[in-house]
């Protein structure tokens, strides 16, 4: 018997006690006695708190690993995933869902009709079903949207935000018709929840979500004006600094689409094209995630750079389809909600089965009066836009602010809607080791196809202990949850997006379609990864020398190692000057600190951060395994105690170096030899050559009297000590070391090896006709290789009377100058594709009198 | 933007032919009609070029009828009929009744209009007076404002060019509930007796059009010259403000500075 054993925790569901004032998803559906939750609650109770907690921890780890929440920036580690995942899902029976689903389908069909009308005949306005001001006073409406042609539906993917009331009825709190976010997170929630509760989900008859995604894919493909069986579909993302980026990259990878930004695109001859290393490639379908008015600086907002000039014209010419069509944001305006029932009557002759939360558009005189009289029962929102900021709650305002608000409503009534606060049901949420009744918000997703509307079975669930925070914005709330639609009987299985294996496939060898921007990111990823490794090795060797038995003063090679560290910017240059060292803090303290110092602009941390940033920017090109390693590398140096000791620091560096090697191994073994791989390798080779040159210049050009230990250290830093030992045993001599590190073409760490590889890689890059001869980059690379090939190890190792190795120094200086130039030439030739653009719209109007 | 035919109750433009020449030759040319009914020609040039010349030659007939003196509708009646949807053209007028990207209604503009818009006054009379008032109280000064100056800035300065004056008058009219639109076009200058007409002396110009009820329709006024528009005013396109109808707009790839020159030449084909 164990002493002090705590009594077992009570079964979580048996111990779940929601507040009675709200509809509770578990209790109201029958709870433990009956209904869909019963077998699930039973399973989880048998599992017990500890094991559920273990599942929760595993889920957290998977979320972290997937990289969806990983965003390392220069200033801080921040979470870009809005919610942590709560492991216990929301469960709904399929009858409840069926009713909700048909309401959602009806709503999407209606919004499509309304949008078509607003951008077309405008019958709704002329017949005064909708107030004409919804367009004429609406600053979001750009005249250029009107009559912009659309192939198929104007709305492909929409979302609806829902709340469940005390009586179990569903209310719509908002629509998203532009480019709803959250679909990627809903998918990821499902993938992770089923990974941590595999048995439970398999035996629970949960409707699969994959069919929805294949329907989305088919629908997007069907919009293509040409090549409909295999069109080029691109996701237009606002860029890596947008909250959308992580999700866009995730969806691009899952659906097999190209992820593009505005500057990757060009309209030529009325066609939308992707700018790639191999030239322009036409895009058939653009799934855009940028705002409507930012899509085309020529005809829409001229200050926006997220879109592409001429897009509207290429839409008019019918060569590209954009989903959702430009202008679709109009029907998500809150001011539309009160008029939807009338619009439904007008178009379809029937009522809306799914009601919207009470919404009053202040542009109407009666509504305005009602709102002003009932201000405290309502919240206020902008009428024409879906805003990311929380609604105005008059109860929270000071008297002054309240008066201002009232004056503002009276002065600009068209711009306000007032809404009732929704009541929100509670559902069991796993939090801190127990189930809590938290409030719930659901976002449903729907795809409109030729045959109707497909609804994602489930949706994105946000939960929070209070209701207000869920009302703030679509990203608010404390945690996310998966949502299971559970049937009585087993459901059909379609769990893959792959086409049937017997379908014919065209064999392709690709790589040319690499956007120049992605090539650039891969190139810099290579450079930063290599720099990180070089600096980490140099630090590790130096720290190991300091940590030895000898007092620091007796470590003869230390000054040269410090010079090398100073040369790469890891420590202050003062440490390389013997006379100054005394005045500085001790190395034992400074070196470990420098490893973890995030503010050192050229230090190891900066290098890791740069590397992770570049990986993030190219993440749709990096495999899941690769990204896991990169995530790990980002974590290797994070979260250290204040004064790390040398031993612990060396341990961290060991881990970092191991992870970096894993990454580089993965690049070698798992990446196809496309241009993407070539740019990654070019970055690595150029950086390795540069780092080695700097290291040798700092350590060997002015030889110290007892060079043995220094050579040993240099060979360790360059990972060549094993090879050296196998050849020369323990005799450490400069000539042999210099040969191994500079002129030995069999050593993958030598300079000549890097330069040979650089030349081979450049030769394989696409060569446009203008440069039939030899690009500048090619010439520089050949020159550098020539210098190294012609060098003789004994000459290089020769020390003159002045105490200098002039030959060596001369060669290394050529490389230290030439390699950055080579890098610039490569960037200029392949990676910079757009010059600046300028708007031409001076006033041409003078006047006479 | 290229010339179009425009039909109004008291004036019309009949556009018979248009010849557009663009140098260098564009790779693509497209035409479409915008939300306001204007004709838009868009083109792209993919070759490198140092200069771009666009010339539009069109043959048009401008008709101008005197305003029927018998119609004496008050400005309140027009506004009220629109509010009650009693005016058959309320929907068309709606577009020009609210704030637009460069024009925001406000109490300040309404107050400025109040001098002329006395109770039950004839709309035409009141607008004419407002037109005169702007002409007298505002300084024509090409240095006072630039293309992107706001309407409020020009109003504060009491100075500007035709574009500013048009924006200010539209702001005043909309602020008291009257639909008003911006007209961009050309002004033909008639040489003084005995002088030869000068080539290129004619100008791009801008003025306003106010909705004066179903009987009169849209009536054009020129606040820069303090007049009701006549056959020397040749409208090209209409919109809510300058932003909708800038005569030419584009994006160029590449660096360097650009310079824009515009000249207009109006010649009569037949004496009349």
What confidence tens digit (pLDDT) does each residue in A777-820 have? 889 999 999 999 999 999 999 999 998 999 999 999 999 999 99
User: Does the pLDDT value for residue A154 go beyond 90?
Assistant: yes
Summarize the confidence of residues A98-119 as an average pLDDT.
97
pLDDT higher than threshold 60 for residue A846 = no
The SS3 of residue B228 is: strand
- pLDDT value at position A701? 94
Predicted confidence at residue A358, as pLDDT, reads 96
DSSP string, B155-202: HHHTEE-HHHHHHHHHHHHHHTT--EEEEEEEEPPPPPTTPPPPTT-B
pLDDT for A73 beyond 50: no
Q: How does residue A437 score in pLDDT terms, banded at 50, 70 and 90? A: very high
Higher confidence at residue A78 or residue A59? A59
Model confidence at A4: pLDDT above 60: no
Question: How many beta-carbon contacts under 8 Å exist across A and B?
Answer: 130
pLDDT confidence of residue A75 = 36
Q: What pLDDT does A581 receive?
A: 66
- Least trusted range by pLDDT, from A327-336, A742-751, A761-770, B9-18: A761-770
Q: What mean pLDDT is reported for chain A?
A: 87
Which domains, and CATH codes, for chain A? 226-319 (3.40.50.11290), 514-671 (no CATH), 674-832 (no CATH)
Residue A642's pLDDT band, with cuts at 50, 70 and 90, is: low
Of all residues in chain B, the percent with pLDDT exceeding 90 is 57
What local confidence, expressed as pLDDT, does residue A311 receive?
Answer: 95
- Residue in chain A closest to B225 (alpha carbons) equals A849
Contact A848 B225 (CB under 8 A): yes
List of chain B residues whose C-beta atoms are within 8 Å of the C-beta of residue A279? none
* Predicted local distance difference test score (pLDDT) of residue A510: 46
Tokens of A763: 């030769």
Element (H, E) at A721: helix A721-728
Closest Cα of chain B to A312: distance in Å?
11
Task: With beta carbons under 8 A apart, name residues in chain B contacting A300.
Answer: none
Cα–Cα distance for residue pair B243/A293, rounded to 1 Å: 14
Residues of chain B neighbouring A133 (CB-CB closer than 8 A): 94, 98
Whole-number pLDDT of residue A77: 37
Token digits for A379? Answer: 């919240």
A297 contacts B98? CB cut-off 8 A: no
pLDDT (tens digit per residue) in A566-620: 888 888 887 777 666 666 677 777 888 888 887 777 888 888 988 888 888 787 7
Tell me what pLDDT residue A66 has.
65
**Cα–Cα distance list, A94 to A188, A207, A210, A442, A487 (Å):** 22, 9, 17, 16, 5
CA separation, residue A346 to residues A110, A128, A340 (Å): 10, 11, 10
Q: Which residues of B touch A126 (CB under 8 A)?
A: 91
- A431-445, A748-762, B122-136, B254-268: which range is least confident on average? B254-268
**Would the pLDDT of A741 be above 80?**
yes
What is the predicted pLDDT for the residue at B109? 97
Tell me what ipTM this predicted complex has: 0.92
Domains of chain B are 6-62 (no CATH), 67-245 (3.10.620.30)
Contact A309 B262 (CB under 8 A): no
Q: What is the pLDDT of residue A841?
A: 54
Report the alpha-carbon distance of residue B107 to residue B103 in Å, rounded: 13
Distance of CA B134 to the CA centre of its chain: 16
Can you say whether the dihedral through the CA atoms of A784, A789, A795, A797 is positive or negative? positive
Q: In whole angstroms, give the CA distance from residue B168 to residue B153.
A: 10
Across the strands, what pairs with B195? none
For the record, the structure tokens of A344 come out as: 């439904």
Instruction: Look at A297 and B251 and tell me if their CB atoms are within 8 Å.
Output: yes
pLDDT reading at A340 higher than 90: yes
| pLDDT class of A712 with cuts at 50, 70, 90 | very high
**Angle made by CA atoms A561, A567, A568, in degrees to the nearest 5:** 100
Whole-angstrom distance, CA of residue B186 vs CA of residue B233: 6
Lowest mean pLDDT among A264-278, A308-322, A558-572, A826-840: A826-840
- Residue-wise pLDDT for B129-150, tens only, equals 999 999 999 999 989 988 888 9
Residues of A with Cβ-Cβ distance to B187 under 8 angstroms? 847-848
**What is the structure's pLDDT at A390?**
86
Alpha-carbon gap, residue A717 to A746, rounded angstroms? 18
Q: What percent of chain A has pLDDT over 90?
A: 58
Contacting B with CB below 8 Å, chain A residues are: 122, 125-126, 128, 132-133, 136-137, 139, 143-144, 146-147, 267-270, 297-298, 302, 309-310, 313, 316-317, 414, 834-849
Predicted pLDDT of residue A770: 44
- Residue A200 reports pLDDT greater than 70: yes
CB–CB contact A835 B94 (8 Å): no
Is residue A692 a contact partner of residue A535, using CB atoms and an 8 Å limit?
A: no
Residue A82 has pLDDT above 90, yes or no: no
Range of weakest confidence among A355-364, A428-437, A768-777, B232-241: A768-777
Phi-psi region of A176 (alpha: psi -120 to 50; beta: other; left: phi over 0): beta
Tokens 């150029």 belong to A686
Residue among B147, B205, B262 minimizing CB distance to A847: B205
- Which percentage of chain A shows pLDDT scores above 70? 89
Predicted pLDDT at A69: 44
Q: Give how far Cα A312 sits from Cα of A146, A307, A332, B45, Å.
A: 11, 10, 21, 17
Instruction: Report the alpha-carbon distance of residue B23 to residue B33 in Å, rounded.
Output: 23
Looking at per-residue pLDDT, the higher value among B203 and A150 belongs to A150
pLDDT of residue A79: 43
d(CA B98, CA B177): 9
Distance CA A736, CA A740 (A): 6
The partner residue sitting opposite A848, judged by closest CB among B42, B203, B247, is B203
Contact at CB, B254 and A836, closer than 8 angstroms: yes
Residue A828 pLDDT: 73
| CA–CA separation, A561 and A721 (whole Å) | 16
Tell me the pLDDT tens digit for each residue of A48-66.
999 999 999 999 888 776 6
Confidence tier at A472 by pLDDT (50, 70, 90): confident
The β-bridge relationship of strands B139-140 and B159-160 is parallel
Which structure tokens are listed for B166?
């048009």
Instruction: Enumerate residue ranges in chain B where pLDDT < 50.
Output: 272
What's the pLDDT score for residue A76? 35
Task: Judge: A848–B187 Cβ closer than 8 Å, yes or no.
Answer: yes
Q: What is the pTM of this model?
A: 0.81
Comparing CB atoms, the residue among B94, B162, B249 nearest residue A845 is B162
Query: What is residue A171's predicted lDDT score, i.e. its pLDDT?
Result: 97
Looking at per-residue confidence, does A439 or A508 come out higher?
A439
Query: What's the pLDDT score for residue A90?
Result: 97
Closest partner CB to B94 (pick from A136, A310, A837): A136
For the stretch A306-337, pLDDT in tens is 999 999 999 999 999 999 999 999 999 999 99
In this prediction, residue A502 carries a pLDDT of 54
Average pLDDT for A22-42 = 90
- A149 pLDDT higher than 80: yes
Mean pLDDT, residues A120-137: 96
The per-residue pLDDT for A474 is 66
Which of A136, A267, A834 is closest, CB to CB, to B97? A136
Q: B6 to chain A, minimum CA–CA distance in Å?
A: 19
From residue A687, give the alpha-carbon distance in Å to each of A692, A815, A816, A833: 8, 11, 11, 23
For position A72, what pLDDT does the model report?
A: 37
Contacts of A845 in chain B (CB under 8 A): 161-163, 184, 203-206, 242, 247
Spatial neighbors of A198 by CB under 8 A, at least 6 apart, are none
- Output the pLDDT for position B134: 95
Under DSSP, is residue B227 helix (H, G, I), strand (E, B) or coil?
Answer: strand
Q: Do A848 and B189 touch (CB under 8 A)?
A: yes
Does the pLDDT value for residue A499 go beyond 60? no
Reported as a pLDDT band with limits 50, 70 and 90, residue A124 is: very high
Residue A508 in this model has a pLDDT that exceeds 60: no
Contacts with B244 from chain A: Cβ below 8 Å: 143
Say what the pLDDT of residue B8 is. 82
Q: Phi first, then psi: give them for residue A360, nearest 5 degrees.
A: -120, 120
Q: Strand, coil or helix: what is B212?
A: coil
**Cβ-defined contact of A838 to B252 (cutoff 8 Å):** yes
What is the Cα–Cα distance from A537 to A694, expressed in whole angstroms?
14
Among the partner residues B90, B225, B253, nearest to A837 by beta-carbon distance: B253
Give the bridge partners for A548, in sequence order. Answer: none
Six-digit token string for A93: 């029976």
Dump pLDDT digits (tens) for A682-703. Answer: 999 999 999 999 999 999 999 9
CA gap B151, B206 in Å, rounded = 14
């Amino acid at each position: 018997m164990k002493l002090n054993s705590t009594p077992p925790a009570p079964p979580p569901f048996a111990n779940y006690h929601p507040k009675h004032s709200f509809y509770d998803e578990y209790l109201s559906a029958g709870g433990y006695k009956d209904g869909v939750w019963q077998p699930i609650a039973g399973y989880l109770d048998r599992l017990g708190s500890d094991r559920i907690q273990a599942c929760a921890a595993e889920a957290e780890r998977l979320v972290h690993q997937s990289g969806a929440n990983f965003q390392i920036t220069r200033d801080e580690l921040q979470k870009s995933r809005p919610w942590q995942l709560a492991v216990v899902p929301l469960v709904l029976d399929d009858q409840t869902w069926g009713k909700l689903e048909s309401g959602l389908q009806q709503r999407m069909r209606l919004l499509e009709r309304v949008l078509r009308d607003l951008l077309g005949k405008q019958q709704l306005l002329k017949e005064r079903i909708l107030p004409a001001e919804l367009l004429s006073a609406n600053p979001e409406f750009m005249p250029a949207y009107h009559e912009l042609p659309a192939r198929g539906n104007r709305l492909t993917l929409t979302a609806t935000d829902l709340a469940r009331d005390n009586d179990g009825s569903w209310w719509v709190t908002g629509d998203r018709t532009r480019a709803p976010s959250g679909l990627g997170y809903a998918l990821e929630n499902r993938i992770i929840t089923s990974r941590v509760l595999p048995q439970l989900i398999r035996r629970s008859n949960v409707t699969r979500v994959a069919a929805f995604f294949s329907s989305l894919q088919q629908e997007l493909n069907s919009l293509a004006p040409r090549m409909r069986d295999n069109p080029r579909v691109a996701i237009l993302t606002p860029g890596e600094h947008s909250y959308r980026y992580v999700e866009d990259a995730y969806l691009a990878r899952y659906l097999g689409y190209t992820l593009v930004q505005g500057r990757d695109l060009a309209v030529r001859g009325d066609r939308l094209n992707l700018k790639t290393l191999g030239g322009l490639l036409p895009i058939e379908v653009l799934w855009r995630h940028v705002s409507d008015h930012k899509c085309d600086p020529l005809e829409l907002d001229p200050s926006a750079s997220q879109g592409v000039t001429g897009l509207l014209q290429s839409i008019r010419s019918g060569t590209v389809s954009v989903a959702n069509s430009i202008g679709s944001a109009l029907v998500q305006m809150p001011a539309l909600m009160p008029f939807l029932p009338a619009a439904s009557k007008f178009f379809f002759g029937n009522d809306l089965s799914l009601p919207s939360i009470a919404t009053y558009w202040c542009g109407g005189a009666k509504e305005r009066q009602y709102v002003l009289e009932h201000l405290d029962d309502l919240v206020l929102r902008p009428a024409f836009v879906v805003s990311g900021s929380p609604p105005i709650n008059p109860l929270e305002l000071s008297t002054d602010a309240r008066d201002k608000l009232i004056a503002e409503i009276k002065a600009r009534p068209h711009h306000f809607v007032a809404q009732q606060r929704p009541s929100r049901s509670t559902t069991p949420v796993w939090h801190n080791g127990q189930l809590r009744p938290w409030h719930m918000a659901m976002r449903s997703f729907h795809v409109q196809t030729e045959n109707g509307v497909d609804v994602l079975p489930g949706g994105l669930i946000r939960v929070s202990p209070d209701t207000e925070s869920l009302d703030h914005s679509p990203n608010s709330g404390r945690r996310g949850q998966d949502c299971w639609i559970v049937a009585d009987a087993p459901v059909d299985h379609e769990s893959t997006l792959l086409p049937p294996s017997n379908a014919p496939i065209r064999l392709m060898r690709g790589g040319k379609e690499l956007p120049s921007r992605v090539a650039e990111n891969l190139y810099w990823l290579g450079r930063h990864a290599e720099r990180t490794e070089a600096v980490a090795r140099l630090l590790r060797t130096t720290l190991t020398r300091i940590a030895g038995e000898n007092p620091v003063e007796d470590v003869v090679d230390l000054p040269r190692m410090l010079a090398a560290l100073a040369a790469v910017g890891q420590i202050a240059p003062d440490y390389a000057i013997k006379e100054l060292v005394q005045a500085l803090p001790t190395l034992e303290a400074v070196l470990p600190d420098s490893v973890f110092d995030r503010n050192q602009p050229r230090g190891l941390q900066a290098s890791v951060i740069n590397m992770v940033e570049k990986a993030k920017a190219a993440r749709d090109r990096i495999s899941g395994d690769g990204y896991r390693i990169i995530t790990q590398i980002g974590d290797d140096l994070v979260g250290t105690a204040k004064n790390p000791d040398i031993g612990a620091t060396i341990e961290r560096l060991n881990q970092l170096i191991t992870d970096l090697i894993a990454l580089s191994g993965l690049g070698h073994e798992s990446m196809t030899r496309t241009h993407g791989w070539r740019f990654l390798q070019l970055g690595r080779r150029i950086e390795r050559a540069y780092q080695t040159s700097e290291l040798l210049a700092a350590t060997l050009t002015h030889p110290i009297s007892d060079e043995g230990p220094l050579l040993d250290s240099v060979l360790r830093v360059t990972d060549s000590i094993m090879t050296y030992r196998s050849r020369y045993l323990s005799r450490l001599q400069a000539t042999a070391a210099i040969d191994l590190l500079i002129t030995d073409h069999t050593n993958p760490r030598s300079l000549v090896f890097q330069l040979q590889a650089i030349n081979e890689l450049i030769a394989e890059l696409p060569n446009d006709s203008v440069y039939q001869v030899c690009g500048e980059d090619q010439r520089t690379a050949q020159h550098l290789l020539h210098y190294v090939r012609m060098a003789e190890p004994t000459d290089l190792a020769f020390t003159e009377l002045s105490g200098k190795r002039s030959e060596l120094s001369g060669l290394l200086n050529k490389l230290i100058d030439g390699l950055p130039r080579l890098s610039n030439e490569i960037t200029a030739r392949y990676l910079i594709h757009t010059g600046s653009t300028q708007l031409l719209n001076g006033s041409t109007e003078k006047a006479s009198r | 933007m290229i010339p179009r035919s425009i039909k109004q109750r008291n004036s019309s433009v009949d556009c018979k032919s248009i010849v557009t020449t663009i140098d260098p030759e564009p790779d693509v040319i497209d035409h479409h009609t915008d939300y306001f009914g204007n004709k838009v020609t868009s083109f792209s040039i993919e070759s490198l070029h140092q200069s771009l010349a666009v010339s539009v030659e069109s043959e048009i007939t401008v008709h101008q009828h005197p305003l029927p003196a018998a119609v004496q509708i008050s400005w309140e009646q027009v506004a009220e009929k629109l509010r009650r949807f009693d005016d058959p053209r309320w929907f068309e007028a709606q577009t020009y009744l609210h704030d637009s990207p460069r024009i925001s209604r406000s109490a300040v503009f309404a107050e400025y209009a109040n001098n002329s818009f006395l109770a039950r006054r004839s709309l035409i009379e009141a607008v004419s007076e407002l037109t005169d008032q702007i002409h007298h109280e505002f300084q024509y000064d090409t240095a006072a404002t630039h293309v992107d100056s706001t309407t409020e800035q020009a109003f504060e300065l009491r100075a500007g060019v035709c574009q500013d004056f048009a924006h200010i008058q539209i702001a005043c009219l909309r602020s008291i509930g009257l639909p008003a639109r911006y007209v961009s076009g050309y002004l033909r200058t008639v040489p003084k007796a005995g002088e030869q007409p000068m080539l290129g002396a004619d100008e791009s110009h801008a003025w306003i059009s106010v909705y004066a009820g179903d009987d009169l329709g849209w009536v054009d006024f020129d606040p820069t010259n303090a007049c009701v528009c006549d056959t020397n005013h040749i409208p090209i396109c209409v919109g809510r403000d300058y932003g909708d109808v800038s005569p030419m707009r584009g994006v160029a790839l590449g660096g360097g500075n650009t310079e824009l020159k515009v000249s207009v030449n109006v010649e009569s084909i037949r004496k009349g």
